[in-house]
Amino acid sequence: MPVFDYDPPDRFVAGAVGQPGARAFFLQARGQGRVTTVALEKFQVAVLADRLDELLDEVLRRTGGRAPVPAAAPAELADDAPLDLPIDEDFRVGTMALAWDPETSQVIIEAQEATAADDEDEMFDDTGLEPAVLRVRISPAAARAFSRRALDLVAAGRPPCPLCGQPLEPEGHICVRLNGHHPGGTTA
C-alpha cells in the first residue's frame, strides 16, 4: 500500500480545474520536494471541510477552550493560489477519515484510494492490492485555513435556483417546482 505521508506538508489545499458545472476537484499536498494530487468529488470536498470545522469545534468544546485551536481561519494562512502544476492524479479518493492527535495538537486527514469494493455492486476487492493513502498531519490553524478555502471553492460553482435549489445552467434550467417550466416563463 503506497502511503503518501506529509507531517506536516508545506502546503495542503483543495482545488478545482475547469468551468463551473464541469470542474474536476482535487486535494493536493506538497512537501519534502514532492507533490501528491488526488481526485475527489465536489461533495467530498464539502463534507471534508464541514467535518474538519466540526472536529475542531468539538476539540475546543471538550478542552474548555484550552486547545490551540483558532475559532476562525487565520488571515495569514489564507492560500488562494492555484494548484501546483502539472496536475498529475495519483489516485481517486474513496473514503476519508479525520482524527485529532492530542499529543501533538494536530489534525490527521487520511484520504484512501477508491477500490472496486467501494462500488455498491462489489462486496470485496479481489485485486489483492492495498489501496493507496494520502495522510496529512496539519496544525489546527492550517486545518481552519484548508476548510475556509474548500468551502469557498465549493460555493464558487453554479448558483442554485431560488425555487428548487438545483444548479442553474448557463443555457437555462427546467425547474421541478414550476412543473417543468423555465423560471423565466418559457416551457421546455
Q: Residue 39: what pLDDT?
A: 98
Q: What is the CATH number of the domain that holds 55?
A: 3.30.2450
Residues 107 and 63 in one domain: yes
Residues 62 and 30 in one domain: yes
Residues 118 and 179 in one domain: no
Instruction: Express each pLDDT in 118-162 by its tens digit.
Output: 655 444 555 668 899 999 999 999 999 999 999 999 988 777 777
User: Mean pLDDT for the chain?
Assistant: 88
Total domains present in the chain: 2
Residues 42 and 118 in one domain: yes
Residue 187: which pLDDT band, with cuts at 50, 70 and 90? very low
Contact 145, 74 (CB under 8 A): yes
Q: Which helix (H) or strand (E) holds 11?
A: strand 11-17
Residues 128 and 168 in one domain: no
Residue 186: which pLDDT band, with cuts at 50, 70 and 90? very low
Instruction: Express each pLDDT in 37-90 by its tens digit.
Output: 999 999 999 999 999 999 999 999 999 988 999 988 999 999 999 999 999 999
Residues 137 and 166 in one domain: no
Kindly compute the dihedral angle of the four CA atoms of residues 135, 108, 37, 114, in this order, to the nearest 10 degrees: 70
Residues 7 and 42 in one domain: yes
Residues 25 and 115 in one domain: yes
Q: Which of 26, 65, 33 is nearest to 153 (CA)?
A: 26
Residues 48 and 138 in one domain: yes
Dist CA 107 CA 8 (whole Å): 10
Residues 179 and 112 in one domain: no
Residues 136 and 169 in one domain: no
Contact 144, 59 (CB under 8 A): no
Residues 185 and 128 in one domain: no
DSSP letter assigned to residue 106: E
Return the amino acid letter for 172: G
Q: Residue 22 sits in which domain range?
A: 3-157
Please compute Rg for the chain using Cα positions: 19
